[in-house]
């Protein structure tokens, strides 16, 4: 979703924002928009517009007149694409450049873009325990050779964004979240919530005990707001709370729901996203982001998947 913001009236000490969400299915797809239209305050402050990253006119129509843009849209496939140049890379790279061009033409003051830890953490040339920070970039050659198309798209898309912004004098701030979990707004699971859903839906009695950096969806949303509102915000921000193994996730769920059937047979992991043991705290130090405890994030993910009848 793209959000366009017009900062207008003031309420007490808080600015009231007029929000415009640019969505592919707006107008004709209730599953994509219903949960957004039902949000508190949406009737008064949120307008959903039809738009596609690959359709520059639709982006310009949404962005023109806005003070700020949150560029979040990008395909996050849960399968290996057979046509990645078209299905993944074009949206991640050309789509991002289309957004930035519309921002330039509309004289947008600040753009906050959602990149990913995927654009940072995959560099097998680095020593395994190198701290992960905002100077790190994933290795494009490795990602292409290993068919990690989503990660390649995020890496190339973010690099293209920096290049375009620097050449055109745009104020870009980038948030790089790790695996995002927590309450879902929409009815169907997105790719990241499948990580937890697979433990709950009885699809397997075994699990690969890989580690993953987890962050709560509400903290990611807050990070975007802080990046927009903090004048001094600049550059990239890793947004990652804690490393959690699948065994630890299962343990947290078992403590909360001893009656659930969870996988019991552990398999040693083949590859893990990042071997780093230290992670940049720039987002905490510069933007003041506070992380939700990871137990709460897992609990809310499970409760949300249950409430939506997904297991």
| Cα(254)–Cα(248) distance, integer angstroms | 10
Q: Is 76 in the site for ligand NAP (CB under 6 A)?
A: yes
- Minimum distance of ligand NAP from residue 208's CB (angstroms): 18
Catalytic residue among 32, 107, 128, 154: 154
Q: Is 301 in the site for ligand NAP (CB under 6 A)?
A: no
The token pair at 25 is 């299915």
Active site residue 231: no
| Cα(138)–Cα(151) distance, integer angstroms | 8
- Minimum distance of ligand NAP from residue 171's CB (angstroms): 19
Distances (CA, A) of 78 to 60, 81, 148, 150: 30, 9, 12, 10
| Cα(288)–Cα(222) distance, integer angstroms | 10
- Minimum distance of ligand NAP from residue 71's CB (angstroms): 8
- Minimum distance of ligand NAP from residue 3's CB (angstroms): 12
Of residues 84, 95, 213, 263, which one binds ligand NAP by CB under 6 A? Answer: 95
Nearer to ligand NAP, 15 or 57 (CB): 57
In this structure, the chain runs to a length of 311
Nearer to ligand NAP, 19 or 53 (CB): 53
Compute the chain's Rg from CA coordinates: 20
| Cα(14)–Cα(99) distance, integer angstroms | 28
| Cα(247)–Cα(15) distance, integer angstroms | 44
User: Could you list the active site residues?
Assistant: 154
Residues found near ligand NAP in the complex (CB under 6 A): 1, 24-25, 32, 52-54, 72-76, 91, 95, 114, 116, 154, 177, 179-180, 190, 192
């Amino acid at each position: 979703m793209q959000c366009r913001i017009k900062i207008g009236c003031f309420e007490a000490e808080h600015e009231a924002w007029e929000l415009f969400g640019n969505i592919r299915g707006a107008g004709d797809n209730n599953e994509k928009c219903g949960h957004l239209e039902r949000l508190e305050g949406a009737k008064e402050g949120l307008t959903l517009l039809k738009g596609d990253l690959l359709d520059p006119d639709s982006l310009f129509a949404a962005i023109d007149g806005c003070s700020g843009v949150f560029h979040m849209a990008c395909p996050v496939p849960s399968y290996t694409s057979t046509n990645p140049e078209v299905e993944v890379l074009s949206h991640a790279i050309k789509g991002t450049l289309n957004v930035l061009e519309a921002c330039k033409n509309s004289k947008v003051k600040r753009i906050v873009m959602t990149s990913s830890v995927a654009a940072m953490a995959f560099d097998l040339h680095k020593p395994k325990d190198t701290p992960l920070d905002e100077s790190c970039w994933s290795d494009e050659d490795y990602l292409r050779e290993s068919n990690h198309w989503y990660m390649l798209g995020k890496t190339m898309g973010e690099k293209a964004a920096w290049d375009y912004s620097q050449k055109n004098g745009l104020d870009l701030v980038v948030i790089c979240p790790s695996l995002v979990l927590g309450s879902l707004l929409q009815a169907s699971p997105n790719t990241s919530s499948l990580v937890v859903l697979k433990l709950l839906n009885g699809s397997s009695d075994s699990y690969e005990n890989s580690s993953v950096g987890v962050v709560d969806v509400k903290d990611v949303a807050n990070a975007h707001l802080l990046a927009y509102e903090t004048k001094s915000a600049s550059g990239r921000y890793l947004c990652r709370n804690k490393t959690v193994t699948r065994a630890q996730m299962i343990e947290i769920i078992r403590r909360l729901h001893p009656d659930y059937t969870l996988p019991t047979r552990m398999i040693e992991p083949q590859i893990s996203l990042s071997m780093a043991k230290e992670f940049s705290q720039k987002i905490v130090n510069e933007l003041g982001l506070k992380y939700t405890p990871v137990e709460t994030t897992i609990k809310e993910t499970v409760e949300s998947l249950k409430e939506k009848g997904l297991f």
